[in-house]
Structure 1
Amino acid sequence: MQAVNPQVSLFQTWEWVSLWWKHLGKGTEARVLCVQDGGETVGIAPLYTRRTAMGKVLRWAGTGISDRLGIIAACGYDHAVAGAVAEWLESQRCADLHQLAEGSAMVRVAEARGWQVVWQEKCPYVLLPETWEAYWGSLSKKTRFNIGYAQRQMTRELGEVHLDTASETELPEAMEALFALHTRRWRQRWLPGGFYHPCVRQFHREWATVAQRNGWLRLHTLRIDGAIRAVLYVFHFGRRAYYYLGGFEPSLARYSMGTVLTAYAIRRAIEEGCVVFDFLRGDEPYKYRWKPQVQWHRRACWAQGTLAWAWRKRVDWETRLWWRLQARLHGKGAS
């Protein structure tokens, strides 16, 4: 099902989810639902349950560090599987399903059944043409000039600039550089960043090795005189490139290293046959210079009994808090 259904994301693969359980699943209990038709498995819903202050809650395996989640269904069975999963979840006390793609079967079914479904995050993505030249020509004149100028400025003022993708032997060095550069940049904002916890870093170390072996990892680096100064953590899966996280030296921010390296990552994606470059969740302003389209992610919640009213209020509060945080980080509102 994973291989033939184009709706399945990298974050729903066994490789990703099993490592999530190994490193980040402490205190959870697996609840993997199988949907069958005539004795044949046509759908899977990888869930877990965890006890919270409001009782036991069911969520997707991978929630927290994953950017697109949901059911895994055989082709043609998406709606039927989503309906069966929703029906089972309604027999439980509480379900809280994050990072559902807008328009997905699970969102449509949840809305039709009266669940609380809220707008969670914007996810910009670029539809890629067949050639780099066609895409390059679609960018604004200012963006093209700035990328070329930044490369020339780095060479003139800092030394030899080298853009590359980390090999298997370079992987440990590049991953540690990613952790350090990403964290350093976010701490300037008094925030922890995406690799704040040792368990998260260990997850990504092991995941990167697995993804490299499977041909999914593209860890792009920018080196100045041999030293790594910027890293982009990108995955290729199903003709889609996923830009997961990045990091660059904050003291060199004026050289636009992230922009230069993103252009390199998009070029590599086109050359390798990807048709989408996905910036994943987050409404950061830098994503919009690449002429993206925008998809929303939704959050679908179900609760019953005395828990229902309290859970609805909690979701509303968390949604408002999240958008206020986004406005603080990016200097603009949710729109």
Structure 2
Amino acid sequence: MLRVERADVDRLREIRAEWNGLVAAMARPSTFSTWEWIEAWWRHFGDAYEPVLLHFYRGETLVGILPLASRWMIVEDAALPTRTLLYCGSRELGSDHIDLIASASDAAECLAAAGTYLQWEFRDWDLLHFSHVAEDSRLLEWAEGNTVPFPVDSRVVSAAPYVDLSVGFDSYRMSLRKKKRKHLEGLAGQLFGGMGVEYWKCDPVEAKNAVRQLFDLHRLRAASLKRATVFEGERLIRFHEDIAVRLQQQGQLRLRFLRQRGVPLSAWYCFECHGRAFAYQTGMDPAWEKYGAGNLLLYEVIRESSEEGLKEVDLLRGGHYKGRWTKRSRALSTINMYNDTALARLARWGARWRTDFVHAVKQRSRRPTPQNREGEIAPEEM
């Protein structure tokens, strides 16, 4: 039987090697569960939270971590504020693929111990909220099983397209539509050959400045589309300056730009973690949209990832354009677990009412979706 300890942030800062060793043992490791990501989040955003860092021990050996944080808040779909437990970093940073940090062989036992602990020993909560959990995660497997001691609601909220590079870049390139391949080759000839554009890899000295340039390009692009963005604000910028330097020192930062005479035109902000690249954020000077600077940059990021032996580029959530790069994706779900409290029961009722109402409105306003001959949704033209 596992022993559960609720650790504080000081304890977190003492176990970097053990923590990342468990990340490496996960079935699908991601940057968003690493010690560097979670510890940096606590320094920049933790003042609004109470730590509920659950550590699972077999004897004296740490075998699992569920990094939670608590605060009063209203989460998506909820109708009122609750004492909410969240996965560290999932709200402010939009982390995808959050999961229990443990090996596949220890995951079920760790989650069973977490359920018992939250049911009987730590009861100062109403809602346990996991956002954008992947379809093959241990958390979703637990939530959809019959061992969770709480009422559970889960639903698919998005998808994360990914490029499979295990077959090599040439095979991937040939999987793209012929029209798209010719378009990308034409862009490369025009920008690299005729306009003096270069593919630039952020170096360690430039990491902080490059992050600022990324935010500037992202803001320009959002403004040109007249869209609001949550990727802004000085606190968030400082977090990403911090994590970019850390990951750069470990060879895990992939912040790439197209530049012309040193001026950034487009950016892709990616991380590497155990053989996979995670394409986290992008930005582009709107004046270069007509030249396809964003498309060409992503194509070069995928090419570089393959050449360096990575097996996958995960494009993460959001952006319908991502589906044009691959037919593969993983569903992402939101999970809500409710404690046995009056406020939790009221919150669940409110969330279900709101979900049913929104669904009914969408059904009434839905228009027919164009389909091709096989009955599938027609792909968008590039």
TM-score w.r.t. length of structure 2: 0.78
CA distance in 1: counterparts of 2:215 and 2:163, whole angstroms: 26
**Contact in 1 for aligned 2:153/2:335 (Cα 8 Å):** yes
* CA spacing shift, 1:72–1:272, aligned 2, 3 Å: same
- Partner of residue 212, structure 1: 248
Question: Which structure: larger Rg?
Answer: 2
Q: Deviations over 1:226-270 (max 9, x none)?
A: 311011101111000100001111122111111100010001111
Query: Deviation at 1:51?
Result: 1.8
Q: Deviations over 1:195-242 (max 9, x none)?
A: 312111110011100010011001111012331101110111100010
How does 1:190-269 map onto structure 2 within 5 Å? 190-269=226-305
Query: Deviation at 1:290?
Result: 1.5
How does 1:145-224 map onto structure 2 within 5 Å? 145-154=182-191, 159-224=195-260
2:168 is aligned with what amino acid? Answer: T
CA distance in 2: counterparts of 1:174 and 1:292, whole angstroms: 31
Higher mean alpha-carbon deviation, 170-179 vs 226-235, is at 170-179
CA distance in 1: counterparts of 2:323 and 2:70, whole angstroms: 37
Q: Deviations over 1:25-83 (max 9, x none)?
A: 22101011112234432211110000236331111111121122121113401111122
- Partner of residue 175, structure 2: 138
Count of equivalent residues? 325
**Contact in 2 for aligned 1:48/1:60 (Cα 8 Å):** yes
* CA spacing shift, 1:61–1:294, aligned 2, 3 Å: same
CA distance in 1: counterparts of 2:156 and 2:356, whole angstroms: 8
Unaligned runs of 5+ in 2: 1-21, 74-79, 363-368, 371-376, 378-382
CA distance in 2: counterparts of 1:167 and 1:69, whole angstroms: 28
1:76 is aligned with what amino acid? Answer: S
2:43 is aligned with what amino acid? Answer: K
CA distance in 2: counterparts of 1:192 and 1:321, whole angstroms: 22
- Partner of residue 49, structure 2: 28
Secondary structure at the counterpart of residue 169 of structure 1: helix
Query: Deviation at 1:273?
Result: 1.1
CA distance in 2: counterparts of 1:138 and 1:269, whole angstroms: 17
Percent identity between the two aligned chains: 28
Does 1:296 pair with 2:331? Answer: yes
- Partner of residue 129, structure 2: 96
Does 1:306 pair with 2:356? Answer: no
**Contact in 2 for aligned 1:127/1:292 (Cα 8 Å):** no
Query: Deviation at 1:274?
Result: 0.8
Query: Deviation at 1:289?
Result: 1.9
- Partner of residue 54, structure 1: 81
- Partner of residue 81, structure 1: 110
Secondary structure at the counterpart of residue 234 of structure 1: strand
- Partner of residue 6, structure 2: none
1:77 is aligned with what amino acid? Answer: D
**Contact in 1 for aligned 2:163/2:312 (Cα 8 Å):** yes
CA distance in 2: counterparts of 1:133 and 1:81, whole angstroms: 42
**Contact in 1 for aligned 2:82/2:347 (Cα 8 Å):** no
Higher mean alpha-carbon deviation, 2-11 vs 215-224, is at 2-11
TM-score w.r.t. length of structure 1: 0.89
CA distance in 2: counterparts of 1:318 and 1:140, whole angstroms: 38
CA distance in 1: counterparts of 2:320 and 2:337, whole angstroms: 33
Query: Deviation at 1:302?
Result: 1.7
